[in-house]
Chain A
Amino acid sequence: MSNAHFSYVLRLGDNALIIGQRLSEWCGHSPFLEEDIAMANTALDHVGRARMLLTHAGDLEGAGRDEDQLAYLRDEREFCNVLLCELPIGDFAFTLMRQYLLDVYHLHLFEALCRSQDEVLAGIAAKAVKESSYHCRRSAEWVCRLGDGTDESHRRMQSALDELWGYTDEIFAADAVDEAMRAQGIAPPLAELERLWRADVEALLARATLSVPDDNWRASGGREGIHTEHMGVLLAEMQVLQRSHPGLAW
């Protein structure tokens, strides 16, 4: 099995794992009870995907690593999630804006992956696309509600969007792995996903009375294992149990 195939599935798994970990930080801290449960539900959807994707990646790699070894026993440089997923949760506006930007991407990605030549990946996508469809509805609703809300909520949403915008470029920057997967019919062309993403995002931001930021800066590196200073702290918390008690199981 090709190395590119493993890398591609591993990236998807890492994105799911890291955003799931970030969302779970809200558990017990959301602004009100209903939202707390909703946020934890979403976190668990992502962790569930991470389990399936990392298991599949481990099978493709063929080195005997399972989901737990990939999640808990790799170091920072070996993680290949996009930087957008690992940024700290910030305030509620920041969390929901990031979620919306990711949810729209995931919705189009998994819709396309339902037709993947990789049957396992297509199966995972068929499950994930239903989740993403709901995630998108929820986060879009919040972006509108807070963007077109009070002066304070509008200011916070615009500031979150400005802070996040430069990180979205990395999602759609196709490299050799993406090209190889597209050529084999395993993954959709990223340029097409970006076109769909951009159309949805711009339409919603207009409804939310938010302005699309200028494309005058961009940050990337996560997929090559070059992470922000926040990643080490996240991994330390996520991995501490397995590192302290190797082989520990529930």
Chain B
Amino acid sequence: MSARRLPLWEVFIRSRRGLDHKHVGSLHAADPEQAMQAARDTYTRRQEGVSIWIVRAEDIHASQSDDAQAFFDPAEDKVYRHPTFYDVPEDLKL
């Protein structure tokens, strides 16, 4: 079996309870069961995690680098979107 013909999967691991799953890498496998086992063997052998998500790489829709300017640059000068922009009145009881 050639790995080149097997679908690509992205692996997300939650390192501890209460934390988020984080992307840790990818692997090749024929189906979800095999991908899950390969993820366990490849990415959790040094106690890295307590939970695994696997997602077919082709099911992930990513933003394009060409869109970066239109997507992200406009947020640069919108300082009023940060709560720190606003002064809290002295006599406001929080």
Contacts and interface: CB of A to CB of B under 8 A. Distances in A.
A138 B33 CA distance: 9
A33 B41 CA distance: 11
A38 B33 CA distance: 14
A41 B41 CA distance: 7
Given A32-B6, A33-B28, A141-B37, 11 more contacts: A31-B3, A32-B1, A33-B3, A34-B3, A34-B28, A35-B38, A37-B45, A38-B37, A38-B41, A41-B41, A41-B45
Nearest to B41: A38
B13 interface: no
Nearest to A138: B37
Contact of A145 (B28, B30, B38, B40): B30
A32 B38 CA distance: 11
Interface in B9-40: 27-30, 33-34, 37-38, 40
B27 A34 contact: yes
Nearest to B27: A34
Contacts of A138: 37
A230 interface: no
Interface string A117-150: 0000000000000000010011001000100000
Contact of B42 (A34, A134, A141): A34
Contact of B28 (A32, A137, A141): A32
B42 A37 contact: yes
A112 B33 CA distance: 28
B3 to A, nearest CB: 4
Interface string A25-49: 0000001111101100100000000
A38 B38 contact: yes
Contacts, number: 36
Interface of B: 1-3, 6, 27-30, 33-34, 37-38, 40-42, 45
Contacts of A141: 33-34, 37
19 contacts: A31-B3, A32-B1, A32-B2, A32-B6, A33-B3, A33-B28, A33-B42, A34-B3, A34-B41, A35-B38, A37-B45, A38-B37, A38-B41, A38-B42, A41-B45, A141-B33, A141-B34, A141-B37, A145-B30
A52 B40 CA distance: 24
Contacts of B37: 38, 137-138, 141
Contacts of B33: 141
A83 to B, nearest CB: 28
Contacts of B40: 134
Interface string A178-204: 000000000000000000000000000
Contacts of B30: 145
Q: Which of B6, B30, B33 has the most CB of A within 10 A?
A: B33
Contact of B34 (A31, A37, A134, A145): A145
Contacts of B34: 141, 145
Q: Which of B28, B30, B38, B41 has the most CB of A within 10 A?
A: B41
Contacts of B27: 33-34
Interface in A131-171: 134, 137-138, 141, 145
A44 B27 CA distance: 22
